[in-house]
């Protein structure tokens, strides 16, 4: 599922999951999920408003990880798209869209274009 970064304006950064993704992937009885962020695994609580039209995941460790990847949402910049990949019961792996959706052949073709243009 595609999700986006968000900022509340107070420096707090998190994930905006989207209402349709909440309905599809998150049972109402779940109060926390596991996020896999590279080699780090964290448990994130889901607020009651998560199911009431504010489908946001916020956690200080998630914020630090997003900032370390330069994914912090800045004012007047578009939200950064990411993917949450189901990785078990109430567990998701978070990745950039570009690394999650790109095949090896696309990488090869892009590197070939760079080599040709450099000649």
Range of the domain at 114: 2-118
Number of compact structural domains in the chain:
1
Query: 68: phi > 0 → left, psi -120 to 50 → alpha, else beta; which?
Result: alpha
- For residue range 16-36, list pLDDT tens digits in order: 999 999 999 999 999 999 999
pTM to 2 decimal places: 0.73
7 bridge partner residues? 13
The pLDDT of residue 79 is above 80: no
């Amino acid at each position: 599922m595609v999700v986006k970064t968000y900022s509340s304006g107070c420096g707090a950064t998190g994930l905006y999951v989207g209402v349709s993704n909440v309905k599809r992937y998150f049972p109402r009885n779940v109060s926390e999920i596991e996020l896999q962020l590279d080699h780090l695994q964290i448990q994130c609580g889901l607020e009651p408003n998560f199911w009431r039209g504010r489908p946001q995941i916020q956690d200080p460790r998630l914020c630090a990880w997003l900032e370390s990847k330069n994914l912090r949402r800045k004012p007047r910049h578009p939200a950064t798209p990411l993917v949450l990949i189901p990785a078990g019961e109430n567990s998701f792996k978070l990745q950039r869209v570009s690394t999650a959706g790109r095949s090896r052949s696309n990488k090869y073709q892009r590197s070939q274009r760079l080599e040709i243009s450099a000649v």
